[in-house]
Amino acid sequence: MTPDKAQLEARLHYPLGAALPAPGGTLAVAPGIRWIRMALPFALDHINLWLLRDTLDGMEGWTVVDTCIAHDASRAQWETLFLQALDGLPVLRVIVTHMHPDHIGLAAWVCERWTTATHECRLWISATDYNAACIGSRSTTGFGGEGAARFFAAHGMTDPASLEQIRGRASYYPSLVPAVPTQYRRLMDGLTLSIGGRDWHCISGYGHAPEHIALHCPEAGVLISGDMVLPRISTNVSVYDVEPEGDALTLFLDSLDKFRPLPADTLVLPSHGKPFTGLHERIDQLHQHHRDRLDEVLAACRERPCSATDIIPIMFPRPLDLHQTTFAMGEAVAHLHRLWFDGRLTRERDAAGIWRFAAA
């Protein structure tokens, strides 16, 4: 019998127990590393952000890792943190793990807030995700609008009301990321940053975002995993309308294995959930999770040719709101594409123009 979520989680260890940072406050997780938790107005109701004590260009202060979406509540929480949690020191730079709104949404605001005549508070991010965020904040691709509606329709979404709602999400990304800094410092795989006198190594990841960057500090025994390794939920791995033949799941699973060489006792600081140890166990769990989902999808397509819309209730057997449905559709396509690229499924358009996947 496949273990349930509670049984899998029990195999991980949470060094801080049930402790959470108070709203507007921080919680120390390691020397020079503080945890911030901000609310999100979604089913996934929070994001973890990190403060790293730092020295940059001779100045003492803090590096911020990720920023939350652009909305009044998160700005207000940041203002409280600026007043009460920085020990009177400035924010020196902003590192963003990837371009999704809950991570980069307030980066421009924080950078501008802490830039002075003598110090530029700079955004540090991968080049791919920087440019993707710039495009997203000024356009209607990837998360909603007409292109997304056509993509969903081609994968079996035929309900006119649902498609109209997808079209209505054209401004989804810009509403949460209204601006991106006009300049940045590039992060890439293998780059080493000095933060607070310690080396932090960049580890790129793919499949969830265009070029996600996680940060590993061997001296501290800490991995800021972003969204690549989460303790309770599986990372969203989606194919979007801007890359309709993408193989996101293969990219993601290959990226997961880049974390295997890290020590077994590494403290993982995820973007959602609580800090944990058990990195290798969690990597194994995520691989097994996707093997199980692929088996379910393949079994369904052996019974009859399926669209991604047909697959959603198999992969997600629970009620979904529109926001969740968009992610579920992307995940369904990603799993179908993995099997298609592996040669275990074939893909053909039916008379209505819908992609159907059948066992090879």
pLDDT digits (tens, 9 = 90+) for 256-282: 999 999 999 999 999 999 999 999 999
- Dihedral sign for Cα atoms in the order 231, 109, 241, 40: positive
pLDDT number for residue 115 = 98
Q: How many CA atoms lie within 13 A of 147 on its CB side?
A: 13
Cα 53 versus chain centre, distance = 24
pLDDT number for residue 86 = 97
Any bridge partners for residue 55, and if so which? 60
Mean pLDDT, all residues of the chain:
96
> In this structure, which topology does domain 15-301 adopt according to CATH?
Metallo-beta-lactamase; Chain A (3.60.15)
Are 226 and 212 a contacting pair, CB within 8 Å? yes
Strand runs (DSSP E) across the chain, as ranges?
Answer: 27-30, 33-39, 46-56, 59-65, 91-95, 122-126, 184-187, 192-195, 198-205, 212-217, 222-226, 267-270, 345-349, 355-359
Helix, strand, coil % over all residues of the chain, rounded to 5: 35, 25, 40
The proportion of the chain whose per-residue pLDDT surpasses 90, expressed as a percent, equals 92
| DSSP reduced 3-state for 198 | strand
Per-residue pLDDT averaged across 57-69, rounded? 98
Q: Residue 116 pLDDT > 70, yes or no?
A: yes
Per-residue pLDDT averaged across 314-332, rounded? 93
pTM: 0.96
Q: Residue 224 pLDDT > 60, yes or no?
A: yes
pLDDT number for residue 141 = 59
Strand runs (DSSP E) across 174-221, as ranges?
Answer: 184-187, 192-195, 198-205, 212-217
Per-residue pLDDT averaged across 105-119, rounded? 98
Are 33 and 52 a contacting pair, CB within 8 Å? yes
pLDDT number for residue 6 = 74
Q: Residue 355 pLDDT > 60, yes or no?
A: yes
Per-residue pLDDT averaged across 108-132, rounded? 98
Identify which has the larger pLDDT, 184 or 321. 184
Q: Distance between CA 74 and CA 40 in Å, rounded? A: 9
Local confidence band at 56 (pLDDT 50, 70, 90 cut-offs): very high
pLDDT tens digits for 186-195? Answer: 999 999 999 9
pLDDT number for residue 252 = 99
pLDDT number for residue 140 = 60
Token pair 């399926």: residue: 306
Identify which has the larger pLDDT, 213 or 43. 213
Per-residue pLDDT averaged across 135-151, rounded? 84
Local confidence band at 142 (pLDDT 50, 70, 90 cut-offs): low
